[in-house]
Amino acid sequence: MIPTTPRTAIVTGAARGIGAATALRLAADGHAIGVLDLDESACADTVAAIVAAGGRAVGVGADVANSEGVIAAVARVTEAIGAPTILVNNAGITRDNLLHKMSEADWDLVMTVHLRGSFLMTRACQAHMVEAKFGRIINLSSTSAQGNRGQANYSTAKAGLQGFSKTLAVELGRFGITANAIAPGFIQTEMVRQTAERMGMPFDEFLAAAAAKNPSGRVGQPADIAALAAFLARDEAGFINGQVIYVAGGPRD
């Protein structure tokens, strides 16, 4: 593969799932990784896996929705492994319910983590990107942005991240910064295991049902998303800006 310039990346929600896979994949491209999640100790496995593969990483505990925590976390990464010029806004939660049963707290929490979290993280990192005249912002959207029963809060937040990405692309493009959204379909992680649990369905049946209706005949894996995130972070992806790329095994699922 053509080499890409080694840089510092922050991946939020990188203790597990898509975030952990993305952190590992970016590290394999030579980037030093700020592994950020709510609880610093939860980052240990991802950091250890990166270091064991010969990479550099630091684990940082922060709530992406907390302004002071975000500023401190970005400063800590900068001091430990360099100023971040790649940011993957991946931290996320679901609080699913039909609209008439959805509480205001669950609406607010989902908006706060996805939208406020991505805003705060991006605002905290963009000065480093502008200074470097290089930046890559990758926001995790979802196929749910197109509408999904029981996810009025989540689908709204994920559609919002698409608008956020496009606006960042317009504002920051002149500084060598790109902003894109990845919209995954069904990816096998703890998040969907919790969904299966809520629906009272055994996880293997839930996975089999999702695979059966997918045009590719399988569910997605975290590495499917990590591969695109790593590509979008590369030097050679510099003219891909403001796009929403669906990674779902088919056009809709």
Nearer to ligand NAP, 134 or 168 (CB): 168
CB of 246 to ligand NAP, least distance (A): 10
To the query of whether residue 246 is one of the catalytic residues in this protein, the response is no
Q: Which position among 154, 164, 186, 206 bears the catalytic label?
A: 154
CB of 42 to ligand NAP, least distance (A): 6
Nearer to ligand NAP, 46 or 134 (CB): 46
Backbone angles phi, psi at 125, to 5 degrees: -95, -20
36 forms bridges with which residues in the sheet? Answer: 12, 60
The Cβ of residue 214 has, within 10 Å, a number of other Cβ atoms equal to 18
Which residues of this protein are in contact with ligand NAP, per CB under 6 A? 12-13, 15-19, 37-39, 63-65, 90-93, 113, 117, 140, 142, 184, 186-187, 189-192
CB of 69 to ligand NAP, least distance (A): 9
CB of 17 to ligand NAP, least distance (A): 2
CB of 209 to ligand NAP, least distance (A): 14
Q: Is 26:11 a contact under the CB 8 Å cutoff?
A: yes
Nearer to ligand NAP, 126 or 214 (CB): 214
Nearer to ligand NAP, 141 or 241 (CB): 141
Nearer to ligand NAP, 70 or 177 (CB): 70
Q: Is 193:151 a contact under the CB 8 Å cutoff?
A: no
Instruction: Write the CA distances from 32 to 37, 96, 110, 162, 230, integer angstroms.
Output: 16, 35, 29, 27, 13
Selection from 196, 139, 208 nearest residue 169 by Cα:
139
The Cβ of residue 213 has, within 10 Å, a number of other Cβ atoms equal to 12
**Catalytic positions:** 154
